Amino acid sequence: MKIIRLVLLFICIVLLSGCWDKKELNEVAVVIGVGIDKVSDKEDVYEITAQVIKPLTEDQGSELPTWSITAQGETVMSAIKNMNRLSPRRLYWSHLQIIIFGEELAREGVAPIITWFERDRDSRAGSYLVVTRGSAQDLLNQKIELGSIPSKAMSDLLDTAEQRQIIARKVKLRDFTTVLTTPGIDASADVIHPKTIRGEVESYEVREVAVFKEDKVVGYIDRPELAGTELLKDTYDYFILEGACPGDEEELFAFQTTSYESEDELNFENEEVTYKVNIFLEGNLSDQTCSIDLLERDKLEQVEEKLSEIITTHIENEFELAKEMGSDIYGIGQKLRRSYPDAWKKVKNQPDELLAKVKFDIQVTSNIRRSGLIIEPTQTKIE
C-alpha cells in the first residue's frame, strides 16, 4: 500500500508541476501585429511598430483597445530592445497574428528581418506575412470604422478570404521562409490596402500580390491574373469565374466552383520545358446577364470551353507577368531540380533562360452540375 501511495505521489509531482513559465496579462504587453519599415534618411536602420492589446477595463469607454509603440534599430533585436525600454511591460510575441513589410523595406530585402522571427522562441510561425504599398506603420496605426483592432481586422480578412470569395495567398511566416530558402522557386505575398469609403478608412482589402525575386519585391500582380498560382495549388474549392456568354461577348455569366482539383507535371526533353497541368472542376451557374439558356446542350459545351479558356489565360498571364520580373513563383526550377537534377545543375544560375523555355500544356475538364434554384433564366422567360 505504501508503494502504491509513493507511486501516486510521484505521478502527481510529475504531472502537477505547476505553471513555472506562466505569463500574467498584467505583467506583459501582448503584441498582436507588427509593422516593419526602412528608415529613409538613415542607412541600415529599421523602424518597427508593435500593436499591443490593452487589457480590458470597466472605465475604458470609447478609448481604443490597442496601443502602438515604435522604435528604431540597426537590427530587429536592437529595435525591439529599444521598444522594451519605452514600454512599461515586456513585449510578449506569442499572440502575434500578422507581420507587415513596408514597400521600401520589401524592395531592399527582407531576409535580415525574417531571421529574428525565426529565432525567437515567442514568435509565431503561423503569423500572416503581408506587404503594403506605403508605410507599414501607417497601415497598422490606421483607425478603421469596421473593427477596432487593425491587426485583428487584417488577419480576419485573410482567415475568411475563401468565404468572402477573395483570392488571397494567405502566406504565413513558416511558408514564406520555406520558399525563401528553397532553390528554384520565388516567394509571393498578399498586399493589403486600406479600404476608403466616403473619405473614411472603413476596413482593409487584398487586391494584388507582391512578387519576390530572392528576398526582394520586384513588382506586383493585380487581378485577375493573380488567380493563376491559386488555381495550381488547389488553395480553394470555392471561387467564382466570370466569362462572356456564348454568342454575346458583351454579356457575362458567373460560374461558382464546388469541387476543384489540379495535377501538374514538368517534362524536360531536347532542352525544351513543358509544364503540363490537368484541372478538374465542378460547379454551378450562379448568375448571367445574357438572355440565353446556357443549360442547352450546345450552349453548355460552349460555357465549358469558355471556362477552360479563362483558367488557361489566368495561369499563363500570371506566369508571363512574373517572368517579365525575373521571378519564378510557379517553382519551375524547383520541379526541374526534383525531376531532372542534371538539367537543373546546368541552368540553376540562369533562371531567366529556364523560364523563357517554358511552354504550357493545360487541360481543363469542367462539369456544370446545376443552375441554382431555377432552370431557365428570367430574361429568356420575358422574351
Domain hosting 198: range is 25-222
Question: pLDDT for 17-67, tens place per residue?
Answer: 556 555 665 567 888 999 999 988 777 889 999 999 887 654 555 567 888
Q: Rounded to an integer, what distance in angstroms lies between the CA atom of residue 98 and that of residue 171?
A: 10
Out of 167, 188, 222, pick the residue that ends a domain. 222
Residue 56 falls inside a structural domain: yes
Q: Are residues 59 and 202 in the same domain?
A: yes
Residue 19 falls inside a structural domain: no
Cα→Cα distances 352→150, 185, 292, 320, 323, Å: 39, 12, 46, 12, 7
Q: Are residues 228 and 195 in the same domain?
A: no
Out of 171, 198, 222, pick the residue that ends a domain. 222
Q: Are residues 110 and 139 in the same domain?
A: yes
Q: Are residues 99 and 168 in the same domain?
A: yes
Number of domains in the chain: 2
CATH (domain of 382): 3.30.300.210
Q: Are residues 104 and 115 in the same domain?
A: yes
Q: pLDDT at residue 318 above 90? A: no
Q: pLDDT at residue 70 above 80? A: yes
Q: Are residues 65 and 80 in the same domain?
A: yes
Residue 138 falls inside a structural domain: yes
Residue 80 falls inside a structural domain: yes
Q: pLDDT at residue 307 above 90? A: no
DSSP 314-349: HHHHHHHHHHHTT--TT-HHHHHHHH-HHHHHHHTT
Find how far residue 21's CA is from the centre of its chain.
Answer: 33
Per-residue pLDDT, 371: 61
**pTM for the model:** 0.84
Q: What percent of the chain has pLDDT over 90?
A: 26
Q: Are residues 143 and 232 in the same domain?
A: no
Residue 181 falls inside a structural domain: yes
Q: Are residues 187 and 329 in the same domain?
A: no
Residue 10 falls inside a structural domain: no
Q: pLDDT at residue 206 above 80? A: yes
Q: Which of 204, 205, 206, 209 is CA-nearest to residue 189?
A: 209
Q: pLDDT at residue 75 above 50? A: yes
Place 236 in a pLDDT band, splitting at 50, 70 and 90. low
Q: Are residues 234 and 101 in the same domain?
A: no
Per-residue pLDDT, 373: 45
Q: Are residues 231 and 216 in the same domain?
A: no
- With contact defined as beta carbons under 8 Å apart, do 227 and 187 qualify? no
Place 101 in a pLDDT band, splitting at 50, 70 and 90. very high
Q: Which of 50-59, 75-84, 112-121, 351-360 has the lowest mean pLDDT?
A: 50-59
Q: pLDDT at residue 364 above 80? A: yes
Q: Are residues 301 and 171 in the same domain?
A: no
Question: pLDDT for 178-204, tens place per residue?
Answer: 999 999 999 999 999 988 777 666 788
Out of 178, 200, 222, pick the residue that ends a domain. 222
Cα→Cα distances 194→133, 203, 218, Å: 10, 6, 22
What grid cell was written down for 112? 535580415
Per-residue pLDDT, 107: 95
Q: Which position has the higher pLDDT, 12 or 226?
A: 12
Average pLDDT (113-130) is 87
Residue 8 falls inside a structural domain: no
Q: What percent of the chain has pLDDT over 70?
A: 85
Q: Are residues 64 and 185 in the same domain?
A: yes
Residue 7 falls inside a structural domain: no
